[in-house]
Structure 1
């Protein structure tokens, strides 16, 4: 039916164009009008949305008549300032379009220009609303579904609205996006003023140290705004506090010691930080239009945290372990709905882990990984001593493996489910020591939680008078229990290496998977350049 409707729509368009072509000239004014309409119909024919838009308005102009001056100038101002959103300003052709307006000499030219301006507007609108890049084409781990807008609806919206207000409504309207934009301008000004000075020297500086390396650290911290101006050459309390503040704002252990990791981050250039901000803005455009939810769970992979956010405020937070930096283990980025939790979960070992990790072990020793149960296609437990595992390959291995509920279960004692085709979820873990590490990328892709029970209490509090008692009641059975959430909670797995704090200051994180670097390179390839230095 959809194909038939589209075919009928195309036939109507062809008939409409034919009608314009067949109408005879009945005077100079009418002839000029028909020439404009014919040119619009011909130029719009290759784009169904543009063709439908002009057809439903009887080919009346949107940009090129005298009464369209305000709309036209509003668009040209937006195109000229596209760089203020980190967009490829040179790709929208506003200068060329202005030249074409100045050189108009016929109605056919005006008709072709009319459609060219519409196409420039749609190109800009798509980029500023939902991003320049297609996420998965940059990195296969970014599986986010971008909420692209219907171009016909976009054109109708512009035609019905005050143009400046409508254009201002296109970018993300969140506080965080505007804070990132301000950071972009601030970093641009910093670069124009000479940056943050020379990198700090040394490999490790701590309280009690003194000399040239401390001076270089002191000067860098002053230029970055973490330390008031001072002439000390000693690693004193003020420098220690400045280092601690920097560490907190960059996801580092706040010990006040400028060790190798901290010095590496202190010496990151403002240009590189600007790249992170530009990428964060693009990522926000990919999510523009996705409802986060009044209550939602925000898992920022390079921050190694999971947070419950209620009405814009963080009400629960825990550290996480995310997928290790290997091509088949990096945690993906997407949004979904958490529907239930499983207390005392069984770990059904993913086939990829079964055949890549455990099959070679079984081939060497059938009694290895004895904590795992092996079952056949009928669900019957397999007697390991009766199986020659060397006859199987990763392709034809016919068994499944699982780990029953227990304190040593790989999923711990609870997992939080938002069913998805990547089989990613949040869960407990018996490997608690990993949470003490600064960079926590060790899992097979799922998100391990430092405080899983507390997350369970937080979620159950919306549907139980005594959430802890309810959770413990299920836990104490020792059996696998599925606990539905009466109100599903949106979950957003994101990857922001630049993000505003509650105070509005931009905090930075390491690009643990290299995704931001790939996105920035793709933005540059698409025509994005660093913002012009402001006078």
Structure 2
């Protein structure tokens, strides 16, 4: 009896032991499999983000918990927001193929840990690549043109990923593109032109034939149709150049930086004949340029658009003051650079310290021929002492050995005029008055050595001083009438943005176009094309 009981106890113990072993082995196997899957996931993920220290640190801090992979509500919402943004990358004139991931792995609901890690990494890198492109641009400006100096907005990858897991992903993605009205208007204009490209091309080009009010014939019909297709005139059928056509043409001319005389001359016809595809290129380049300056803007700023030959003082999003400008000539060493800095002070009755390059390249050869040339310039030695020209043998020097500086003292005929506006910068570029007023009557005003000449410098000075003086006009003239060089410090320095836009966004929402005076936009578009942006050639 006792033996049977012992046998039953042994059998019961053995059964329990076997059951425990089965349970233990199953749990152990599942745990081991999970650990192996986690390890494989990490390997796959780290393969995709290798070298991205901020990304690696982000995942390490969250124990490699995925952001995009998973069936939970949060991961699904993030994926949906990301996929939507990437599918709509073209709205921002970005090449969608830059942001591809192997979504087939996800659609197959792969359970392979390494493949899931690879997909997680691909989605993260697609997100970060898109975020960088839409926020700060695809290109490095200085690699496209050495005279574009931009401090690009920078995204901290780890911080951005942390935002995605702690904030609604859709809101994070929507916050990345420039929020400026200019950027939004460019996007709208681009969509409008893309639609026009499909629905109603601009039609045949015009012959270079001068047309004015009262003219009749086929060329007037083509002019009318061209203006209708570009949105400047309602649908009408007439072969006569009437008043409505003239008004429409004037609106077109204003939007394209032309004298609004209502006459279709050669310059106007050339602008009317620019193909739709080229206008699209201008807009897409302008969008890229907006991303380069996607920084918080001050309420008060000065915007110098080189292609528009204008200087604008902007306050609270509106143009407070605007004047014509002359910019650098389209010649090596004279083209105006693009950069942003801060205007700190103005100098009344300025001295012109002739740049060394101008002294050596332009004035020295003329002084060697005639030592009395340019008598309005004073010669100074390296110690700052005035030197009498009669005691200088200019032929004894060349560009490498010429030790003297040239200066033009304050006067009505000074090359800088009677006031200059200083934004200390390594490019030695500033804004100034000029005695050469006749140049401001021209449509194309690229004549300077690089600095920005102003048509109405006194009024510009009054506006700048208006927030620190009860009598800005009186204060200015008291120093001017004294005839001596004097400086006025701006109590609130004003940011200055020297930009280059062939697609011009006006502050009332209109879009106009300007000529690519230095060929920079053509080079930028080619670089965008090489980066993957595609725009089919379009006629009309």
Task: Tell me the TM-score normalised to structure 1 length.
Answer: 0.92
Which of 227, 243, 261 is the aligned partner of 2:233?
Answer: 227
CA contact (8 A) 2:49 2:125 kept: no
Q: Indicate whether 1:453 and 2:458 are aligned.
A: yes
Residue 369 of structure 1 deviates from its aligned partner by 1.2
* Cα offsets for 1:312-353 (capped at 9, x unmatched): 111111000011111211111111111000000000011111
Q: Indicate whether 1:218 and 2:224 are aligned.
A: yes
Which of 450, 470, 476 is the aligned partner of 2:481?
Answer: 476
Residue aligning to 1:184: 190
Counting only pairs closer than 5 Å after superposition, residues 361-510 of structure 1 correspond to structure 2 as 361-510=366-515
Name the CA distance, whole Å, in 2 between partners of 1:88 and 1:391: 59
Name the CA distance, whole Å, in 2 between partners of 1:298 and 1:441: 17
Q: Indicate whether 1:116 and 2:118 are aligned.
A: no
* Cα offsets for 1:137-177 (capped at 9, x unmatched): 11111112112222222222222211111111111112221
CA contact (8 A) 1:84 1:531 kept: no
Which of 294, 297, 308 is the aligned partner of 1:303?
Answer: 308
CA contact (8 A) 2:304 2:498 kept: yes
Q: Indicate whether 1:243 and 2:252 are aligned.
A: no
* Cα offsets for 1:196-238 (capped at 9, x unmatched): 1111223211122221221211121122221222222122211
Residue 25 of structure 1 deviates from its aligned partner by 9.9
SS of the aligned residue for 1:374 comes to: strand
SS of the aligned residue for 1:302 comes to: coil
Residue aligning to 1:9: none
SS of the aligned residue for 2:387 comes to: coil
CA contact (8 A) 2:135 2:153 kept: no
Which of 90, 103, 123 is the aligned partner of 2:97?
Answer: 90
* Structure 2 gaps, min length 5: 1-28
Aligned positions, number: 507
Counting only pairs closer than 5 Å after superposition, residues 33-44 of structure 1 correspond to structure 2 as 33-44=38-49
Residue 511 of structure 1 deviates from its aligned partner by 1.1
Name the CA distance, whole Å, in 1 between partners of 2:48 and 2:436: 63
Which of 332, 345, 361 is the aligned partner of 1:356?
Answer: 361
Residue 243 of structure 1 deviates from its aligned partner by 0.9
Counting only pairs closer than 5 Å after superposition, residues 64-103 of structure 1 correspond to structure 2 as 64-67=69-72, 68-94=75-101, 97-103=102-108
Which one is further off, 512-521 or 494-503?
494-503
SS of the aligned residue for 2:63 comes to: coil
* Cα offsets for 1:65-108 (capped at 9, x unmatched): 222122122212211211110001111114xx212323534112
Which one is further off, 101-110 or 302-311?
101-110
Which one is further off, 502-511 or 311-320?
502-511
Residue aligning to 1:146: 152
Name the CA distance, whole Å, in 1 between partners of 2:118 and 2:219: 65
Residue 372 of structure 1 deviates from its aligned partner by 0.7
CA contact (8 A) 2:277 2:537 kept: no
Residue aligning to 2:172: 166
CA shift in 2, pair 1:419/1:152, >3 Å: same
Residue aligning to 1:5: none
Name the CA distance, whole Å, in 2 between partners of 1:532 and 1:435: 36
Name the CA distance, whole Å, in 1 between partners of 2:376 and 2:95: 55
CA contact (8 A) 1:83 1:531 kept: no
* Structure 1 gaps, min length 5: 1-23
Name the CA distance, whole Å, in 1 between partners of 2:537 and 2:521: 22
Root-mean-square deviation (Å): 1.7
Name the CA distance, whole Å, in 2 between partners of 1:329 and 1:148: 31
Residue aligning to 2:341: 336
Name the CA distance, whole Å, in 1 between partners of 2:34 and 2:235: 73
Name the CA distance, whole Å, in 1 between partners of 2:104 and 2:144: 35
Name the CA distance, whole Å, in 2 between partners of 1:42 and 1:493: 43
Q: Indicate whether 1:206 and 2:212 are aligned.
A: yes
Name the CA distance, whole Å, in 2 between partners of 1:428 and 1:49: 49
Q: Indicate whether 1:282 and 2:288 are aligned.
A: yes
Task: Tell me the TM-score normalised to structure 2 length.
Answer: 0.91
